[in-house]
Amino acid sequence: MSHLPALSDFIGTKRQQSSVRVVESAAKSNVAELVSEEKRLRNLFTGMSRSLSHTSARIARNKKIVKRSVQSAANNGAGSNEDISAHTQSMSWTGPYDTDSVELKDDSGWDTDLEIEEVFEAFDHSGKTSYIDTCHRNKVVPVSYYLRHMHETELKLRHHQLGSHAVKPIAISLVSNAKILSLDLTDNSLGCRGAYLLCNMLRENCFITHLNLSENHLGTSSAEMLSNIMQITTSLTHITLSKNEFDDTAAIFFAEAIMNTTKVESLNLSHNRFSEMGGVALGPAIGENSSIKELNLSWNSLRRKGAIAVAQGVKNNIMIKRLNISWNGFGVDGAREIGKALAENTTLEELDMTNNRLTTEAAVLIGKGIAVNDSLQAIKPHYKCFILYNISLMLMPDISTCIYIIAILHKVLSTNYFKTINNVFRKESDAKCRMLGHMLSILKNPNMVMRKVAFDDITVNKTFMTFFKTSRT
């Protein structure tokens, strides 16, 4: 208990010290404010003094001028008081604010902005000015073909090997170009850098609807940028990106674009490097898309699980009307899913499945789907096995011609003409199952709307043509 008074004294001392510090800091701040205010007042006083001195000097100078004028007039003896007053008045200020010296009815005495004639330069809708300026700054020789056609709605600048350096001025000028609606830059070695420049341009340009960047070695590194453009575009409806070395990693980005785009109606990703995993990524996106009407995935390596995923996506899709999946590896598994897709899809009108390793079993599976389909109008199946004697004939028959072909084959296969089978087809069993399977499936469908069956690269011999001509007569 004896320590309590000492403790209270200590606390009181500390409080006093803190109070002193607060007062000192407040005093210092007040002193600083007073010093700054003093400086401000001194500067203001100095400025006023200088202004006053300048005014006094001007007054003294004017007095000297007036005095000199009066003396000269008195010496000459020709001046009167009126002349002196007039001369003195002429020395006074008659600026724009001297309303007494301005005639109110005279417009020439008034200062107004309405008298200034503004010159408006016409807006360059082609971007020619910016193109030439950018070429000059970047030391690039302007492309004469581009200058000649930049006012047209369609620009085909193919096979010029521009590179990313020369395409930069073009991309900058296209930002303000309101003429070009279709842009084709096929085979110009743009690379990833060129794709970056064009994507930046497409973010600003709202006029281009058709874009072709085929054969430009864009690579997988460009896929993400192109995917973003496809998702945010408000004008692009047709995009062609074939032969650009896109792989399965790029397929992931394009799958995101296909799933989210609401503007693109035609997409060409043919002649790339999509394989099984690429198809797995693209399949669900195709099923969810609601804008693409034409899709080209030909000349890839879609097979096994990838082919199955793509076919299932087609089954769930409600917009695609034209589908090209030729030159892949769908095989029996993919054909089975394509058959199921044809049985359920009600929008697909054209299908190209040439060169997909389709066997007799695959043809039968596809035929089952055709038998109940009520929307398919044109099909291009795989008939590469019909190789006959080196006499070539390309047939693009309509439905009536298909009926004649079926009649010929039925006549050959159901009468005493078995001896001529090997003269008509080398692979009689494949021909019998595949062609008859597809055609009979078509004719059995009561809701059939088929208009064309394309038998490309079918080789026939004279015996077949004899039966064909005989049946038509």
Q: Is 186 in contact with 212 (CB distance < 8 Å)? A: yes
Phi first, then psi: give them for residue 79, nearest 5 degrees.
-95, 145
Predicted local distance difference test score (pLDDT) of residue 19 = 65
Q: What percent of the chain has pLDDT over 90?
A: 48
> Is 372 domain-assigned?
no
> Is 23 domain-assigned?
no
Predicted local distance difference test score (pLDDT) of residue 169 = 96
Q: What percent of the chain has pLDDT over 70?
A: 63
For residue 296, what pLDDT band results from cuts at 50, 70 and 90?
very high
Q: Is the dihedral of CA 164, 166, 167, 168 positive or negative?
A: positive
Summary mean pLDDT of the chain: 76
Inter-CA distances, 25 with 14, 28, 339, Å: 16, 5, 90
> Is 114 domain-assigned?
no
Predicted local distance difference test score (pLDDT) of residue 136 = 94
Question: Which residues does 121 contact at the CB level (< 8 Å), separation at least 6?
Answer: none
Count the domains in the chain. 1
The parent domain of residue 408 ranges over 383-473
> Is 116 domain-assigned?
no
For residue 372, what pLDDT band results from cuts at 50, 70 and 90?
confident
For residue 62, what pLDDT band results from cuts at 50, 70 and 90?
confident
For residue 453, what pLDDT band results from cuts at 50, 70 and 90?
low
Q: What is the mean pLDDT of residues 55-66?
A: 74
Predicted local distance difference test score (pLDDT) of residue 434 = 54
Q: Is residue 143 predicted with pLDDT exceeding 80?
A: yes
Predicted local distance difference test score (pLDDT) of residue 282 = 97
List, edge to edge, every strand of the sheet that includes 238-240.
154-156, 182-184, 210-212, 238-240, 266-268, 294-296, 322-324, 350-352, 378-380, 452-453
Q: Is residue 73 predicted with pLDDT exceeding 80?
A: no
> Is 128 domain-assigned?
no
Q: What is the mean pLDDT of residues 267-281?
A: 97
The one-letter amino acid at 132 = I
Give 391-429 pLDDT, tens digit per residue: 222 333 344 445 445 544 444 444 433 333 334 444 444
Which of 59-73, 260-274, 343-357, 378-392 comes out lowest in average pLDDT? 378-392
Q: What is the mean pLDDT of residues 429-458?
A: 56
Give 205-248 pLDDT, tens digit per residue: 999 999 999 999 999 999 999 999 999 999 999 999 999 999 99
> Is 215 domain-assigned?
no
Q: What is the mean pLDDT of residues 39-63?
A: 74
Question: Which residues does 430 contact at the CB level (< 8 Å), separation at least 6?
Answer: 360, 385, 386
> Is 5 domain-assigned?
no
How far apart CA 350 and CA 322 sit, in angstroms, is 5
